[in-house]
Chains A and B, each alone.
Chain A
């Protein structure tokens, strides 16, 4: 098991956000975490990355208990995130953004890694000296993805990859996610767009007010009545 959350309970101050949550991602799996606003999806990712510490429960990464590890140590251990709204450094160039993704990496394989990102996103090579803030939304998403891949993740966390993109770009984006996944990177994706996410995922979890209410193979969840009622308005 690459990642597992065991009975995780997380608070923001006095507010309980996650309640006894358990979740697993296997090597090479693409898992999506669905749920409406304020269901605790982003907090789950922050708990995995170490930006917030759970009050109870454990976070296991590749068999090690990382619950008390600081963020950089977890990233060195194989995690990376594509944050919600991308969060690029707009006044820095595309190349500098990518370099910052590799801040914990050996310099030895930098050229190889950046070549891999460029082959995945040829557009970024053309725009490498342009300020990231001047790129189009789709290109910015590529930078965010490339920046995360520069950390050589075994597990890539993705927070709302379809947020703020046009339908055509969402399509393109999901194709890229699928491609990265097929290259062997496990992905845990948080998404509001349930149909879209489940169409490329292996498995899914549904989160509601901090608790997992549904889980199963993606194909099974797609046909699930309760999910349809909650998300698809059917």
Chain B
């Protein structure tokens, strides 16, 4: 029973991170019908920004400012930095191809992914860097419920993820920007005919989606310690799986898909073998594609009468 709960907590932690990345994947797909393969690498860039913020403020062993402040700066800088990077990618790599056949931006997205991975390799080297989180956030901080440990990094991941998902949901449902995003996603030309600024709406969608990936990068650095220039690839694929399983284009679907994939991973690691986690996760992707290609919450567009 205890192991079951602990596995669930661990699964939900990674699941939150996958959900945050999947949301950006899904939003970009929704508005441009583009699978942004560079999205996982944005998460990697976020992890590096967080790492360098720690170094800037004295390194993990001698943090020169209060830890909560440090965490806030890491999250904020990663969100803004990666958000702006995402907007720049859209502006210079995808916008010129907006009316091109869909295969062209898809290949460009793969190219952008290579550029990001190799730029980081060139600038910071190919070795693995460590956040060394335990030296400034004690493992013993956090809470214990019935013998199940939820450490403070996990608490932060839950809190921040749910806050961001709730915020995104409100934004998309209630604000003019959110409604414009849905309008552009559903019929770009019709949106343009109402005077909606389509370029700006798409750019802001990239900003929001990328910022969430950046924050996920920082949080995964804190939770798993190890970062390198290639972590974006696998994380991106898993988030893609989460988005597809939940129903790509659907925001609630990405959240559910992310949590589901996280749980699958931790349960297969605990009860089967950690060597089989990827096999199981991508098996689920294939099964979803075969059995329910629209995902859990995805639906076919309503037919116009």
Residues of A at under 8 Å CB distance from B? Answer: 49, 51, 71-72, 75-76, 81, 83, 85-92, 96, 99-101, 103-104, 131, 133-137, 140, 147, 151
Contact = CB atoms under 8 A, between A and B. Distances in A.
A209 B153 CA distance: 68
Given A137-B305, A140-B305, A91 B193 contact: no
B195 A89 contact: no
Contacts of A137: 305
Contacts of B303: 133
Given A131-B302, A140-B304, A83 B180 contact: no
The 5 A-B residue pairs whose C-beta atoms are closest, nearest first, are: A133-B302, A75-B195, A87-B190, A72-B195, A104-B195
Interface of B: 176, 179-180, 182-183, 186-187, 189-197, 301-305
Given A87-B187, A89-B187, A100-B180, 15 more contacts: A51-B189, A71-B192, A71-B195, A72-B197, A87-B190, A87-B193, A89-B183, A89-B190, A90-B302, A92-B186, A99-B176, A100-B179, A103-B180, A135-B305, A147-B194
B195 A99 contact: no
Contacts of B196: 72, 100, 103
Contact of A101 (B182, B192, B194, B304): B194
Nearest to B176: A103
Given A92-B179, A100-B179, A103-B180, A87 B195 contact: no
B175 to A, nearest CB: 11
B179 A81 contact: no
A85 B193 CA distance: 13
B200 to A, nearest CB: 10
A39 B26 CA distance: 40
Nearest to B200: A72
Nearest to A74: B195
A73 B294 CA distance: 39
A205 B235 CA distance: 60
A83 B195 CA distance: 13
A151 B195 CA distance: 9
Contacts of B197: 72
A96 B179 contact: yes
A89 B192 contact: no
Contacts of B176: 99, 103
A167 B304 CA distance: 19
A200 B179 CA distance: 36
Nearest to A49: B193
A134 B194 contact: no
Contact of B186 (A51, A75, A90): A90
Contacts of A104: 195
Given A89-B186, A91-B182, A100-B183, A51 B302 contact: no
Contacts of A134: 302
B190 to A, nearest CB: 4
Contacts of A90: 186, 301-302, 304
